[in-house]
Amino acid sequence: MSSDDKARIETLRAELHEHNYRYYVLDDPSIPDAEYDRLMAELRALEARHPEWVTPDSPTQRVGGAPLEGFATVEHRIPMLSLDNAFDEADVNAWYKRITDRLQTRDPLIFACEPKLDGMAISLRYENGAFVRAATRGDGTTGEDITSNVRTIHAVPLRLRSDRPPAVLEVRGEIIMPRAAFEALNERARARGEKVFVNPRNAAAGSLRQLDPRVAAERKLDVYVYALGEVEGWTVPDTHFDTLQALGELGFRINPHIRREEGVQGCLDYYREMGELRDQLPYDIDGVVYKVDRFDLQQKLGFVSRAPRWAIAHKFPAQEELTVLEDVDFQVGRTGKITPVARLRPVFVGGVTVSNATLHNMDEIRRLDVRIGDTVIVRRAGDVIPQVVSVVKERRPADARIIRMPEHCPECGSDIIQLEGEADARCSGGLFCPAQRKEAIKHFASRKAMDIEGLGDKLIETLVDKGLVETAADLYALKFEQLVSLERMGPKSAQNILDAIVASRETTLPRFIYALGIREVGEATARALAEHFRTLDAIETADRDALMQVPDVGPVVAGHVESFFRQPHNREILDKLLDAGIHWPDIEVAEPVAESPFLGKTVVLTGSLSQLTRDQARSLLQQAGAKVTGSVSAKTDLVVAGEKAGSKLAKAEQLGIPVMDENTFIDQIREAGLALPGT
């Protein structure tokens, strides 16, 4: 057994050295913290069983990894040590008993309790009040000089707020990346097709190890200080808590959740409170830290070789864990978006057992290079949907399978389409697909579409949930008895809704096209399609090239329209709607005014008009022979600007495009012989 233990010790040391290198030097961890903690705990247990085999280079005998090449090294005159961990209340109680026994007291001790920030430990050195150096922890005795990067962090004071500053003041703290900055950083990386960071801690470390300080400056890092290092010429208070308050007065950022607690029960109460608050904080914490508050008691307790006896980190349940991706399903969202969902071997992470995680879209799957059968790191932070964040490729099995997007919607069988330049794939069966049913009907009945008064969102959800309505066409088959049987639905309300449904049969072609809910076809595009093709049949049979002849219809919108009308399910619902009696008058397009100053021009409307609605102004421009578009570009000939015109006006001025105010616009409309509405 001894030879087996020795072999296992050597294996564990080699693995932990490799993980230290990947984490501290390459900023590319391959396993989550929880797995690292387990390996370290196993090694410590074996070394405790065989103390004769403990060597100075064992990972248990040092704090971190070697400094990264490219930065000058800094020797810490007072070592930056790590903390022992407690993973449950039993560990905390055992630690409390050890320190009270060592102090030979049964009186409750006072502790300074702090959130354990999940970032990168830092040492900040000030001489005569001026900031002179920042160094990483490194291996605890030697770190890296990252002064230029840290100087870009606004929370780091460049000069202490004191008329008589200490000759030397070294403070220790944690540099973090707030969650909002982390999400923004990864969003920019995804947009550029670059590697994203696994978590904010990794992002903070990677930012500080950039050789160009401008990169760190862009990443919105933050810092909180929580301890002292070397001090000369400053009277240190008697307690840790009072010291932090004094540092706050000198201009350092102190975490607002630090407070004193009495006894072990006070510590545990603090742990539970911070656990409840954890998800609401703007930054990540992975536990809390308890420190004996009085410095004289800290000195009596002393240190072990790598950690103080007077402090301990009480860890929260891990937010990252290893597991196996066993399969991938594809789910259809309420707008038709197809989302790949990882089916995982169940794993306890973030306080719950996780068996599913989002993979976002196929671009994310390709970026991760994840396959069915892979060992993956899954992350769950509070109420955030669990997600696969990276793959441990060293553990990839030979039979791992590539993930492929299905061709047909798993809910309705319609084609799945993904247009060029779009990250998300979508089901094209918008009128028929059960997954999109409620949203499709809500849109169909909305005021700017079919305008069915009284048919609100909650009623639609009830009708769908009770199986009375499956598609928009079923609205026109509803019976009085069905409506009046619903909860809180009286006879008068039921009849009013039926009357509104009957009234909606008389509509316009632009409204009907808009009501169909075709992706990216808004009111203006629906009107342009109707006026260009004149009939629904012509729109249904138009190919992409024909659709792109419509003003403001580019290749993306043309693709959506063509795909929608190509689906047999959608056409079936269209036939049912027309059979239900929906109709509209023929479209008459007036010939443009020959002498109009707007003839042949591309015009953009922006801001609020006082004498006309936006629709009325658009109609007048179209009668005058103009093409009305929604965005300003180099092809725009004129911008008509009302009150509170914003970005469109600014862009027009930037491009040198003529701008016309409302009064001038109305004068020219009248000169063209067109009458304003109501005159």
Per residue in 346-367, pLDDT (tens digit) is: 998 877 889 999 898 898 899 8
CB 159 within 8 A of CB 112: no
Comma-separated ranges of CATH 3.30.470.30 domains in the chain:
80-315
pLDDT (tens digit per residue) in 23-74: 754 667 888 888 888 898 899 899 888 888 887 768 887 554 454 456 888 9
Catalytic residue among 116, 291, 315, 442: 116
If one looks up domain 420-589 in CATH, what number appears? 1.10.150.20
How confident is the model at residue 256, as a pLDDT? Answer: 93
Amino acid identity of residue 302, one-letter, is: G
- Cα separation, 51 vs 608, in Å, equals 80
Question: How far apart are the C-alpha atoms of 326 and 410, rounded to whole Å?
Answer: 19
Q: CATH topology for 320-395?
A: OB fold (Dihydrolipoamide Acetyltransferase, E2P) (2.40.50)
Indicate whether 216 pLDDT > 90. Answer: no
- Residue identified by tokens 């965005």 is 631
**Of 311, 172, 180, 158, the residue nearest 254 (C-alpha):** 172
Q: Is 116 a catalytic residue?
A: yes
- Residue 678's φ and ψ, nearest 5 degrees, are 85, 5
- Count CB neighbours of 497 within 10 A: 21
Whether residue 551 is predicted with pLDDT greater than 80 in this model: the reply is no
Q: Is the pLDDT of residue 540 over 80?
A: yes
Class of domain 80-315 (CATH, top level): alpha beta
Find the range with the poorest average confidence among 20-24, 216-220, 450-454. Answer: 20-24
- What confidence tens digit (pLDDT) does each residue in 601-626 have? 888 888 888 888 877 888 788 788 88
Query: Which tokens belong to 587?
Result: 């479209």
Fold category of 2-61 in CATH: Helix Hairpins (1.10.287)
Ranges for all domains in the chain classified under CATH 1.10.150.20: 420-589
Any idea what the Cα angle at residue 271 is, between residues 266 and 274, rounded to 5°?
120
Q: Give every CB contact of residue 550 below 8 A, 6+ residues apart in sequence.
A: 525, 528, 529, 532, 533
| Model confidence at 645: pLDDT above 70 | yes
Long-range (24+ apart) CB contacts under 8 A made by 608-617 are 608/642, 608/643, 608/644, 609/642, 609/643, 609/662, 610/642, 610/643, 610/662, 611/662, 611/666, 611/676, 612/662, 612/666, 612/676, 612/677, 616/676, 616/677, 617/665
**Chain region(s) in the chain for CATH 3.40.50.10190:** 602-671
What average pLDDT does this structure show over 133-161?
A: 89
Are the CB atoms for 584 and 539 separated by under 8 Å?
no
The mean pLDDT of the chain is 88
CA–CA gap between residue 433 and residue 427 (Å, rounded): 8
CATH 1.10.287.610 residue ranges in the chain? 2-61
CA dihedral 53, 59, 61, 63 (to 10 degrees): 180
Q: Which CATH superfamily is domain 602-671 in?
A: BRCT domain (3.40.50.10190)
pLDDT score for 64: 47
Nearest-10 Cα torsion for 538, 540, 541, 544: 110
Q: What are the E-state strand segments in 93-237?
A: 110-117, 120-127, 130-136, 142-144, 168-176, 222-232
Contact 314, 371 (CB under 8 A): no
What residue has token string 């929580």?
A: 226
Per DSSP, the three-state class of 151 is coil
How does residue 320 score in pLDDT terms, banded at 50, 70 and 90? Answer: confident
Q: For the chain, where do the domains classified as CATH 2.40.50.140 start and end?
A: 320-395
Question: pTM here?
Answer: 0.56
Q: What value, to the nearest 5°, has the Cα angle with vertex 278 and ends 277 and 282? A: 105
Q: Please choose, from the candidates 458, 499, 457, 496, the residue with its C-alpha nearest in 3D space to the C-alpha of residue 476.
A: 499
pLDDT at 21 over 80: no
8 A C-beta contact, residue 540 and residue 498 = no
Residue 214 confidence (pLDDT)? 81
